[in-house]
Amino acid sequence: MHMADALISPVVGGAMWAATAGLASFASKKVQTNIDSHKVPLMGVLGAFVFAAQMINFTIPGTGSSGHLGGGILLAILLGPHAAFLTIASILAVQALFFADGGLLALGCNIFNMGFLPCYIAYPFIFKPLTDQKPSRRRIIIGSVAAAVAGLQLGAFGVVMQTLFSGISELPFLSFLLLMQPIHLAIGIVEGIITAVVISFIYQTAPEILTKTALNKPLDNIPIKPVLVAFFIAALVIGSTLSWFASSNPDGLEWSITETSGQEALQATTEIHGFFADLQEKLAFLPDYNFKSSSAVEAPAAAIEESKESAWPAVDRGTSTAGIVGSLITLLLAYLSGKALQYAGKS
C-alpha cells in the first residue's frame, strides 16, 4: 500500500506532507508531556519489532498464500496512539530510505494512510470502544479485526484519492476503488487476526504488559475533529484552486461564465488564464498543463468542444524527432560522465 513518487503530483504530496508534519508535531508534544520515560526505549524497540515482524510470512490456513503484519493497530494497543503514530512514521521513513518502498515525497501520504488512519481513527473509534468495558479474549479478537480492517480500508481509500488527485494514473476512480478495497479487506482481516492472536498470547502469558498499556486506560482527549477539518480544508483549497487554474480544461469556469454573462467576462477570464500561463512558464514548477489558446475567445461554444479534444496537446508532435535525438545524446552524455567521474575518483 506504499505510494510511490512516480504516481503523485507535488501538490498532493505537499498537502499530505503538511498534514503529516502537523500531526507529527502534535504527537511529539503529546509523547513528551504524557509518556513515562521508560517508553523511550520501548518505542524504539517495538518499532524495530514491527519492522522485523513485517518481513515474516504468516501462512494463511486453507489458501496457499501468506499474510503479513502491518503493525499499526498492534502498536496503537501497546503504546497508545501518539507514540504509535511516531513509531509507524519512523518505520515508514526507514522503508522509504533503505528500500525505496514508498517515495520521499509520498512519505507524507504513506504516514498519513498507514499511521494516522489506524492510530487516530481505527484504534480510538473502533478498537477501544469494543474492548474498553471488559477486555476479554473474544472482544480483543473482534476489536483487532474490526480495527485492522477499518484502518486498511481507510488507508486504501486514501491511496485511491491521492492517486486520483495527482492525475498521473489513468485508472478511473471506480475501477481503482474496486481493485483496492477488496484486496485490502483481505489484508485487513489477516492483519487483524495476527494482531488479535499476539495480543491474546500476551494477555495469557504476561498480562502485566497490557495493564501498563493503553488497553485499560482512558483515552486522551484527541482533538480529531480540528485535525480532520483542517486537513480537508487544506486539501480542498490546494487541490481544487491550483488545479483549477492550472487545468487545461478551464472550460468549466468559462462555460459557466459565458452562460451567465457573455463575451466580456470570457475575455477577462482568458486574460486571467493568460496571466497564470505566463506565471507558470516563469516558475515552471506546476505540472506542465497547457492553457486554452486564444481561439476560444472568438467562438466560445465551439471552442469548448475543440478544447475537450485538444485537451492534452502537451506533447508537441512536430518536435518529437528532435526530442528523440536529443534524448539519446543526453543519455549517452550521462553515461559517459558517470564513467569519467569514476575514473577521476580512482586516480
Partner 1 sequence: MLNIESNWLNMRLLDDLSMQNTLIHRIDPRIKILISLAFVIIVTSFSKYEITGLLPLFFYPITLMSIGNIPSTLLLKRLLIISPFILFVGVFNPIFDRTPLLDVGFISISGGWISFISITVKLTLTAAAALLLVATTGINPICAAMHRLGCPKPLVVQLSFMYRYLHVLLEEFIKTVTAYQLRSPNGKGVQYRAWGSLLGQLLLRTYARAKTIYDAMLCRGFDGRITLLYTKNLQNHDRIYLAYWLFFFILCRAVNIPKLMGKLLLGGL
Interaction with partner 1 in 119-148: which residues (CB under 8 A)? none
Is residue 244 part of the contact set for partner 1 (CB under 8 A)?
Answer: no
Contact 72, 118 (CB under 8 A): yes
Min CB(129)–partner 1 separation in Å: 24
Number of residues that bind partner 1 (CB under 8 A): 107
Q: Which of 46, 73, 215, 266 binds partner 1 (CB under 8 A)?
A: 46
Contact 5, 13 (CB under 8 A): yes
Min CB(302)–partner 1 separation in Å: 20
Is residue 321 part of the contact set for partner 1 (CB under 8 A)?
Answer: yes
The rounded distance, in Å, linking the Cα atoms of 144 and 198 is 10
Who's near 185: CB < 8 A, 6+ residues apart?
149, 152, 153
- Residue numbers 8-37 binding partner 1 by CB under 8 A: 8-10, 13-14, 24-25, 27-29, 31-32, 37
Who's near 118: CB < 8 A, 6+ residues apart?
70, 72, 73, 76, 84, 88, 147, 148, 151, 152, 155
Who's near 26: CB < 8 A, 6+ residues apart?
82, 227
Which of 9, 113 has the CB closer to partner 1?
A: 9
Q: Which of 43, 75, 148, 156 binds partner 1 (CB under 8 A)?
A: 43
Is residue 260 part of the contact set for partner 1 (CB under 8 A)?
Answer: no
Min CB(228)–partner 1 separation in Å: 21
Task: Give the type of residue at 51.
Answer: F
Q: Which of 38, 133, 225, 347 binds partner 1 (CB under 8 A)?
A: 38
Count Cα atoms within 13 angstroms, Cβ side, for 28.
8
Is residue 249 part of the contact set for partner 1 (CB under 8 A)?
Answer: no
Read off the C-alpha cell for 297.
475567445
Q: Determine the interface stretch with partner 1 among 122-130, 166-174, 216-224, 257-265 (rule: CB under 8 A).
A: 166-174
Greatest extent of the chain over all pairs of C-alpha atoms, in Å:
79
Q: Which of 73, 76, 91, 154 binds partner 1 (CB under 8 A)?
A: 91
Is residue 87 part of the contact set for partner 1 (CB under 8 A)?
Answer: yes
- Residue numbers 95-114 binding partner 1 by CB under 8 A: 96-101, 103-105
Min CB(270)–partner 1 separation in Å: 22
Who's near 276: CB < 8 A, 6+ residues apart?
245, 246, 291
